[in-house]
């Protein structure tokens, strides 16, 4: 059901741990997410290695956010890397998104550009004190409208926002973190994830892909977890 829609986040892992994890015979996950932590330390070589050695698709979660020319040049620096998804911040604005997309289509043409809405670490009170947002739903919708207008491929949003997104913009892909297995939710093992969904719930809400990190990378029984995703 959701196995081929699952992206595994390789956070807080050494290269050796990553190699061991990706070498497990039961590891049939197709796509891995490389975030800032790993990319800052190991750079494009890690992307190439994981793609070539383990035949995985790559979601490069750099959450780019800068003036348009800087973002565009950063994307040019990724030229020809085997990346399937790249993230940029929607709050960088329309010009930044257009500029990112223009460069991406030239330099990494097979890569989907995904916009990050508000960080899940921001709560309603932060949105209010930072941006004067009193109605988060309206603020999310504005970001989604801009994503749609600039014709980027999709957005990263929590399970709570998928319905809001898909109702008006079904053409935008939704990639959703904040996923925990049902037994973890019952046992309240949600770490720093505040609002979580099970894989099936997120897919039922309309997620095109789900991002799961520690529940897969730190499990003692990956085979069983992957069975739960089939
Ligand atoms: O919590 P988990 O290990 O499954 O995290 C997977 C991904 O979800 C992380 O790489 C991060 O991008 C995202 N995340 C998030 N909000 C959090 C924790 C993680 O969006 N509170």
**pLDDT at 190 (0 to 100):** 74
According to the model, what pLDDT value does residue 87 have?
A: 98
What's the pLDDT score for residue 195? 74
Q: What residue owns the CA closest to ligand 1's atom 8?
A: 177
The pLDDT assigned to 196 comes to 87
Catalytic residue among 5, 33, 49, 63: 63
- Residue 108: per-residue pLDDT: 98
Å from CA of 176 to ligand 1 middle: 9
Considering only CA atoms, which residue is closest to atom 4 of ligand 1?
Answer: 213
- Give me 139's structure tokens: 């603020």
Candidate from 202, 211, 215 with most ligand 1 atoms within 8 A of CB, to mutate: 211
**pLDDT of the residue at 103:** 98
- The closest alpha carbon to 172, from 137, 144, 142, 197, belongs to 144
The per-residue pLDDT for 178 is 92
63 flagged as catalytic: yes
Per-residue confidence of the chain (230 residues) as pLDDT tens digits? 689 999 999 999 999 999 999 999 999 999 999 999 999 999 999 999 999 999 999 999 999 999 999 999 999 999 999 999 999 999 999 999 999 999 999 999 999 999 999 888 888 899 999 999 999 899 999 999 999 999 999 999 999 999 999 999 999 999 999 999 999 998 887 777 777 899 999 999 999 999 999 999 999 999 999 999 98
Q: How far is CA 64 from the centre of its chain?
A: 13
SS (H, E, C) 4-16: HHEEEECCCCCHH
pLDDT of residue 132: 92
Q: Please give the pLDDT value at position 29.
A: 97
Give residue 213 CA to ligand 1 midpoint distance, Å.
7
Hey, whose CA ends up nearest to atom 17 of ligand 1? Answer: 193
Cα separation, 154 vs 147, in Å, equals 7
What stretches of the chain show up as alpha helix (H) in DSSP? 15-23, 36-54, 68-76, 94-107, 124-131, 136-150, 159-168, 182-186, 199-205, 214-217, 222-228
Model pLDDT, residue 61: 98
Closest CA to 177 of 153, 207, 143, 219: 207
**Cα torsion 13, 14, 17, 21: sign:** positive
**Res 123: pLDDT:** 85
- Name all domains of the chain by residue range, CATH numbers in brackets: 3-228 (3.20.20.70)
Taking the centre of ligand 1 as the mean of its atom positions, its distance from the CA of residue 195, in whole angstroms, is: 11
CA 18 / ligand 1 centre spacing (Å): 17
Ligand 1 lined by 177 (C-beta under 6 Å): yes
pLDDT at 146: 98
Q: How far is Cα 197 from Cα 201, in angstroms, rounded to an integer?
A: 6
């Amino acid at each position: 059901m959701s196995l081929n829609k699952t992206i595994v986040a390789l956070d807080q892992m050494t290269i050796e741990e990553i190699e061991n994890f990706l070498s497990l015979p039961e590891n049939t996950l197709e796509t891995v997410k490389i975030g800032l932590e790993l990319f800052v330390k190991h750079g494009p070589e890690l992307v190439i290695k994981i793609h070539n050695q383990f035949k995985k698709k790559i979601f490069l979660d750099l959450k780019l956010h800068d003036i348009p020319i800087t973002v565009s040049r950063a994307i040019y620096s990724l030229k020809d890397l085997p990346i399937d998804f790249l993230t940029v911040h929607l709050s960088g604005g329309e010009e930044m998104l257009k500029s990112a997309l223009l460069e991406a289509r030239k330099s990494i043409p097979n890569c989907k550009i995904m916009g990050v809405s508000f960080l899940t670490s921001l709560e309603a009170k932060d949105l209010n004190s930072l941006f004067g947002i009193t109605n988060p739903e309206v603020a999310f919708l504005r970001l989604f409208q801009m994503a749609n207008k600039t014709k980027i491929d999709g957005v990263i949003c929590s399970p709570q926002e998928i319905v809001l997104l898909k109702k008006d913009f079904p053409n935008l892909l939704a990639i959703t973190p904040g996923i925990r297995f049902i037994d973890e939710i019952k046992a309240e093992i949600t770490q720093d994830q505040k609002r979580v969904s099970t894989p099936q719930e997120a897919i039922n809400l309309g997620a095109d892909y789900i991002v799961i990190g520690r529940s897969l990378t730190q499990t003692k029984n990956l085979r069983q977890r992957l069975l739960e995703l089939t």
